[in-house]
Amino acid sequence: MSIAAVITAAGSSTRMGGHKKEYLPLPKTQSAGIETTFNTADEPLTVLGAAVSSFASCGRIDTIVITVPLDADKGEYAARKALPQRLLRQEHPVVFFVPGGNSRRASVYHALSTLAGFNPDYVLIHDGARPWIKPSLIERIIDAVILYDAVLPVLPLSETPKEIDGGFVKRHLKRAAVVLSQTPQAFVFKKILAAHEKAAARELEDSVEYTDDAEIWGEFAGNVAIIEGDKSNRKITFQEDIQL
């Protein structure tokens, strides 16, 4: 059984004041508790380095592909510098980089298309801006995708959501029926690749936009199972997120 991971890091980080968030160093207080065998005292982890290291620390992951910007200053060279050099020197897992597209969906599609040459059985797709992903969650997701074909880690809401329209509440949603989704999301590889191919075609035909891989699977492949996520597996979006 072969398992691959896609780590998305091709975004522009516009809400970070121009800083490429995946390449920023994590404060020592935030990197000290990260469960990885690759960080050392003289080589602090970056946001991307922490995320990739967690997947590389999982012996079941054979291949990791990282999507990077086309911009030369923020592309593969910068991404390599953001990773622990010890990780890059290892033969397992194989780590390589692909240029992203003009959307997250396009970037993931590029990565999946490249992975087709490795023919993995399953693939996990993760936001490179989630550095606090634990290997234990990765393991649970792998176990779940083998059972269900598609799996999404989720968290319950702590406040009651509302659907709005034109400045007014349109629907009062039931909190128990709404969850927060996380990554990595995991899928049978051939099916998610085929679903992405259909999503790419539909975007061209109907001017729709897909921002979530589970959404693509749900529309073109079938049901997505859920498992409990992890509160610490949060995503960095704004500058203050990295200082919490």
- Domain of 154, CATH number, reads 3.90.550.10
pLDDT of residue 74: 84
Instruction: Give the tens place of pLDDT for each residue, 74-92.
Output: 899 999 999 998 889 888 9
Total number of domains constituting the chain: 1
- pTM of this structure: 0.93
Instruction: Give the tens place of pLDDT for each residue, 179-188.
Output: 999 999 999 9
Residue 39 banded pLDDT, cuts 50, 70, 90? low
Query: What range does the domain containing 91 cover?
Result: 3-243
Q: State the average pLDDT over residues 208-224.
A: 95
pLDDT, greater one: 82 or 18: 82
pLDDT at 153 over 70: yes
Neighbours of 40 (CB within 10 A): 11
Q: What's the mean pLDDT when you consider all of the chain?
A: 91
